[in-house]
Amino acid sequence: MLTLTDLPEALRQHVAATRERVAALHAELPRNELVVWTAGNVSERVPGTEEAGLPGLFVIKPSGVSYDDLAAEVMVVCTLDGEKIDDGTPARLQPSSDTAAHAYVYRHMEHVGGVVHTHSTYATAWAARHEAIPCVLTMMADEFGGDIPVGPFALIGDDSIGRGIVDTLRESRSPAVLMAQHGPFTIGKDARAAVKAAVMCEEVARTVHVARQLGEVQRIEQAHIDSLYARYQNVYGQGGKQPEQQQDPHHGEEAGS
Ligand SMILES: O=C(CO)[C@@H](O)[C@H](O)COP(=O)(O)O
């Protein structure tokens, strides 16, 4: 078993910083009303392992622990096979029950640095119906680049959920997938981006549901979706990129391709 204290100092510092980020981001789940009790989790890939010639690692919350108690020192460190390393936490402290799903995503989507899972009400209601959320809002085009897809029903406990997440997201620009009759999983370049996607996923799931109560909704034309997505992903905010820097952040290709 890999032991944290045997790792190079630089990597131990990366692990510590990742633990702090993942612990802090878990507070965003109840703050944004995305979870009840402990029903949600955040993970982030530890940077620098490849440079150190070591196996990949990620940090995830311990299973079933209250968000009030999720301090950095109880964040669990796992290999990309989902195995807990000797990370300084009590041996009895088990990683999230969704660790296998997060690990599968990290093994099969190298550009992904963060994964989030919730059971947020409106997104999970769409998942209960096996129904993709149609891209009828500019906010959906901005953040999801189109519809939010539905993934297959899969039981927890092996690679089934992770495989369903990856197989679905590989066919979409969306950083969110609604796993059928379970709930949303989101990805991002880091954990903060994945948490943002989870917040935006619940917001648009609610808005589109309300709109459909009022009447028919109309999907935005694909050319407009592509234009909105390219702008938001590359120009919005304070970090506007030059044309040569622009790419699709979720899939590493040219934006709009
Ligand atoms: O869906 C499930 C359990 O069926 C999980 O997503 C839990 O809701 C969160 O589990 P932990 O991360 O606390 O283990």
Let me know if residue 210 belongs to a domain: yes
State the Cα–Cα distance between residues 152 and 145, nearest whole angstrom: 21
Residue list, ligand 1 pocket, CB within 6 Å: 38-39, 41, 61, 63-64, 96-98, 117, 119, 156
Q: Is the pLDDT of residue 250 over 60?
A: no
The average pLDDT across 165-194 equals 98
- Please count the structural domains in the chain: 1
Let me know if residue 251 belongs to a domain: no
What tens digit of pLDDT does each residue of 147-178 get?
Answer: 999 999 999 999 999 999 999 999 999 999 99
Catalytic residue check, 117:
yes
Q: Is the pLDDT of residue 57 over 80?
A: yes
Per-residue model confidence (pLDDT) at position 239? 72
Catalytic residue check, 26:
no
Strands (DSSP E) along the chain, which ranges? Answer: 40-45, 57-60, 76-79, 114-118, 150-151, 176-179, 183-188
The average pLDDT across 181-192 equals 98
> Nearest C-alpha to atom 12 of ligand 1 is from which residue?
96
**Average pLDDT value over all residues in the chain:** 94
Let me know if residue 248 belongs to a domain: no
Q: Is the pLDDT of residue 252 over 90?
A: no
Catalytic residue check, 67:
no
Per-residue model confidence (pLDDT) at position 254? 41
Find the CATH number of the domain harbouring 27.
Answer: 3.40.225.10
User: Cα(204) to centroid of ligand 1, in Å?
Assistant: 23
pTM for the predicted model, two decimal places = 0.94
Per-residue model confidence (pLDDT) at position 221? 98
Q: Is the pLDDT of residue 243 over 80?
A: no
| Residue that wins the pLDDT comparison between 216 and 254 | 216
* Reported ipTM: 0.96
Q: How confident is the model at residue 240 (pLDDT cuts 50, 70, 90)?
A: confident
Among candidate residues 98, 142, 147, 248, the one labeled active-site is: 142
Per-residue model confidence (pLDDT) at position 5? 96
Let me know if residue 254 belongs to a domain: no
The average pLDDT across 175-199 equals 98
Let me know if residue 165 belongs to a domain: yes
Per-residue model confidence (pLDDT) at position 253? 44
Among candidate residues 14, 26, 102, 182, the one labeled active-site is: 182
What tens digit of pLDDT does each residue of 103-156 get?
Answer: 999 999 999 999 999 999 999 999 999 999 999 999 999 999 999 999 999 999
- Across the beta sheet with 40-45, the strand order is 76-79, 57-60, 40-45, 114-118, 183-188, 176-179, 150-151
Let me know if residue 253 belongs to a domain: no
Amino acid 200 reads M
Catalytic residue check, 14:
no
Give burial (CB, 10 Å; 0-12/13-18/19+) of 187.
Answer: buried
Q: Is the pLDDT of residue 3 over 70?
A: yes
Let me know if residue 241 belongs to a domain: no
Range of the domain at 200: 4-235
Indicate the Cα dihedral angle 209, 34, 252, 233, nearest 10°. 60
